[in-house]
Amino acid sequence: MAKRSRILGCGSYLPANVVTNRDLEQRVDTSDEWIVQRTGIKSRHIAAEGEMTSDLAVAAAVRALEHAGVDAGSIDCIVLATTTPDNTFPATATKVQAALGTKGFALDIQAVCAGFVYALSIADNFIRAGQATRALVIGAETFSRLLDWNDRTTCVLFGDGAGAVVLDGYEGAGTSNDRGLLSTHLHSDGAHYDLLYVDGGPSSTGMTGHVRMHGQDIFRHAVSKLSAVVEEALTANGLEPSAVDWLVPHQANQRIIDGIARKLKLSSDKVVLTVDRHGNTSAASIPLALCEAVHDGRIKRGDLILMEAIGGGLSWGSALVRW
């Protein structure tokens, strides 16, 4: 027997304001053709003025609780992955906790685009250690607030949104046939800190700053590091790539996603793709994609789901989940 964390339900939220590539053509020197060819992105959602990360997180969490069929009072742990907290402190997760009326403890985790995988791992370990029995894991971002809207290399890439899952502890058999999180695998390499970063912060400039990125270097690292961490997850569970039913990747760039799918020999209809409509929503991208595929019926009970992501830090990771 082995303590496992299974996913009881999921929920998501996207701001109402949709910004297309054609809209951006009126704002910066770019084109729909250029953006689609290099990234696969056609549109993204942008939070309204006054709409904060906590608002997005609460909306996604409420839907996840409804889908799971559990009361907020049964949640004793919230782990919120975000790069865009409402305030420097306290943790935005505590704001979510107050809005939902949950008990226990709440914390933020910062691993940029890899944040949701990190948050899953943290909540899973709390459950395995007996420090929590039921957890709410959220990825939520108002990433548009970090963008320099005059920088055409970055402002076209990102969007806002939130996704959440409810984790519940149970005793599994300890095999790859168990439901829930089979394993998570986390990595970081601070030697590449300056490849993707925000040029500001409370300790350095006293200001928020804007996203700065070395795109070609990030692409190169993404392909190699994600391939390795995907293989690590499969090997740890004694599984072959053919066992994977669904790839639910971080939605940063369609070319990267296609490359990982080819390595797994997965057909395109087994890859959950939302980057075309959501853009890169950082820590929110995996749960947003997961929720879409669950709620439209593609992902079914017993399916094996592979999640992977890479972001600033560099930080990257993978998770194998049996739905």
- pLDDT confidence of residue 188: 98
- For residues 322 and 202, give the distance between their C-alpha atoms in angstroms, rounded to a whole number: 40
Among the listed residues 10, 77, 113, 291, the single catalytic one is 113
Residue type, 27: R
CB distance 161 to 59 below 8 Å: no
Mean pLDDT of 60-83: 98
| pLDDT at residue 263 is higher than 90 | no
Mean pLDDT of 294-299: 98
280 is catalytic: yes
- pLDDT confidence of residue 1: 83
- For residues 130 and 18, give the distance between their C-alpha atoms in angstroms, rounded to a whole number: 42
| pLDDT at residue 7 is higher than 90 | yes
DSSP 3-state of 203: coil
Mean pLDDT of 123-145: 98
DSSP 3-state of 8: strand
Q: Which structural domains are found in the chain, ordered by start?
A: 2-172 (3.40.47.10), 180-322 (3.40.47.10)
Among the listed residues 250, 253, 278, 291, the single catalytic one is 250
CB distance 269 to 299 below 8 Å: no
DSSP 3-state of 122: helix
Quick one: what percent of the chain has pLDDT higher than 90?
98
87 is catalytic: no
- pLDDT confidence of residue 187: 98
- For residues 72 and 180, give the distance between their C-alpha atoms in angstroms, rounded to a whole number: 20
DSSP 3-state of 279: coil
Render the burial of 87-99: b for 16+ CB within 10 Å, e for the rest.
eeeebbbbbbbeb
What is the band of 141 on the pLDDT scale with cuts at 50, 70, 90?
very high
Specify the range with the lowest mean pLDDT, choosing from 87-91, 229-233, 259-263, 288-292.
Answer: 259-263
The model's pTM is 0.98
Among the listed residues 45, 221, 280, 291, the single catalytic one is 280
- For residues 185 and 172, give the distance between their C-alpha atoms in angstroms, rounded to a whole number: 20
| pLDDT at residue 61 is higher than 90 | yes
What is the band of 157 on the pLDDT scale with cuts at 50, 70, 90?
very high
214 is catalytic: no
